[in-house]
Amino acid sequence: MSSPVVKIFRSRLNIAIVLLTFVFVIGVFGFKIISDFSWIDAVYMTVITITTVGFGEVQPLDQESKIFTIFLILTSVIIVGYAIKVITEYIISRDTINELKKKKMQKKIDALSGHVIICGFGRNGKQAAKKLATHNRTFVVVEKDELVTQKHLSDIKLFVNGNANEDEVLIAAGIQKASCLISALPNDSENLFVVLSARQMNSEIRIISRASQESSYSKLKLAGANNVILPDRIGGDHMASLVVVPDLLEFVDNLSIVGDQTINIEEVSVEQLYDTAKLKTILELDLRKKTGCNVIGYKDQHGKYQINPEADQKLVPGSKVIVLGRPEQIQTLNTMYNIAVG
């Protein structure tokens, strides 16, 4: 949408065009009627009068024609001057308006904390942004092609135009306060550089990087990426799995999202579920009875996962549980324990 300032300028420009058209029409008809000029001569006299070029008259003017010409000159000077002023201000201010928009957006980015940075808005970047938006996660896109960001303004609320390999661009995206960075650039060497820079500037940030070549996997991990995704390998595995276990894979694909907005799987830290001063087990927590959700996974304080944990599994501080349920059951869980979505 256009900003109010742009709308004001366009309104003024429209007024100037209407006034110029009005003066031109009045001039043509005035010379035609008062001086009995031909249409061509009337247009010619109107143009040289409005533009004040000083060319000669097509024929001597009588008293009435001279009075009309004086009126036309005075009126056109004011209107043409106004039109030039509006057009000049509009042209000059367009850069200023864009600069103000960027400053306003940068102020919003600077106020963020715990957000996600997506470097590159190609196929993988777009899909990541779509998923994050579904989960109501705040994200900032870093994209060097301004045409791409302008094209997807409806999908990108916050963005920084620039090369993600440059430290100042990552700083502008809020790298120091971000919780996660997704490097989805098409070139592995560029992703490697982004990972190195991001890890240097924020040692605690979680970094997820795309890789095209399997040989880049270990390099990106060594550079500081927590997770390295190989889209081609995942795509091949997915297609093969659809042949081997199609129904099971379809079920797994629908675990996290049903439709566009409803979530049916959630990862929750145990501190959000109870006071860990006195340890409880999964059985004692009894989420199934309270919310209808089932605990299908457990991640201990060291990051080790356990699938389908036992009922007597103690929920220690720093650990997390993965729960599964219908969307309304997940909503009950979030409401009961005041868990903020996203």
Residue 291 counted as domain residue? yes
Lowest mean pLDDT among 59-68, 88-97, 189-198, 265-274: 88-97
Q: Is 126 in the same domain as 105?
A: no
Please say if the pLDDT value at position 260 is more than 70.
Answer: no
Q: At 207, which helix (H) or strand (E)? A: strand 206-210
Q: What is the pLDDT of residue 259?
A: 46
Please say if the pLDDT value at position 61 is more than 50.
Answer: yes
Residue 72 counted as domain residue? yes
Last residue of a domain, one of 87, 109, 131: 109
| Domain, as residue range, for 314 | 256-336
* CATH number of the domain where residue 205 is located: 3.40.50.720
Q: Is 144 in the same domain as 92?
A: no
Residue 50 counted as domain residue? yes
How do residues 9-47 score in pLDDT, each as one tens digit? Answer: 778 778 888 888 888 898 889 888 888 888 988 888 888
Instruction: Give me the half-sphere count of Cα atoms (radius 13 Å) on the Cβ side of residue 295.
Output: 28
Please state, for a pLDDT cut of 90, what percent of the chain lies above it.
46
Strand partners, 181: 117, 207
Q: Is 72 in the same domain as 121?
A: no
Q: Is 98 in the same domain as 162?
A: no
Total domains in the chain come to: 3
C-alpha 310/C-alpha 297 separation (Å) is 10
Q: Is 155 in the same domain as 125?
A: yes
Structure tokens at 267: 């990862």
CB burial class (10 A; 0-12, 13-18, 19+) of residue 115? buried
Residue 62 counted as domain residue? yes
Please say if the pLDDT value at position 137 is more than 60.
Answer: yes
How do residues 191-210 score in pLDDT, each as one tens digit? Answer: 999 999 999 999 999 999 99
| DSSP state letter for 136 | T
How do residues 283-305 score in pLDDT, each as one tens digit? Answer: 999 999 999 999 999 999 988 99
Please say if the pLDDT value at position 125 is more than 60.
Answer: yes
How do residues 221-259 score in pLDDT, each as one tens digit? Answer: 999 999 999 988 888 887 888 788 888 777 777 665 544
First to last CA, the chain: 27
* CATH number of the domain where residue 307 is located: 3.30.70.1450
pTM summary value: 0.61
Residue 243 counted as domain residue? no
Contact by Cβ (8 Å): 270, 298:
no
DSSP assignment of 244-305 = HSHHHHHHHHTSSEETTTEE-EEEEEGGGTS-TTS--BHHHH-HHHHHS-EEEEEE-TTS-E
How do residues 81-119 score in pLDDT, each as one tens digit? Answer: 888 888 787 777 666 667 778 888 999 999 999 999 999
Q: What is the pLDDT of residue 1?
A: 43
Which of 135-139, 218-222, 300-304 tops mean pLDDT?
A: 218-222
Q: What is the pLDDT of residue 236?
A: 84
Please say if the pLDDT value at position 143 is more than 50.
Answer: yes
Please say if the pLDDT value at position 5 is more than 60.
Answer: no
Task: Return the number of other C-beta atoms located less than 10 Å from residue 85's C-beta.
Answer: 12
Residue 167 counted as domain residue? yes
* CATH number of the domain where residue 39 is located: 1.10.287.70
Which of the two residues, 108 and 260, has the higher pLDDT score?
108
Mean pLDDT of 49-72: 80
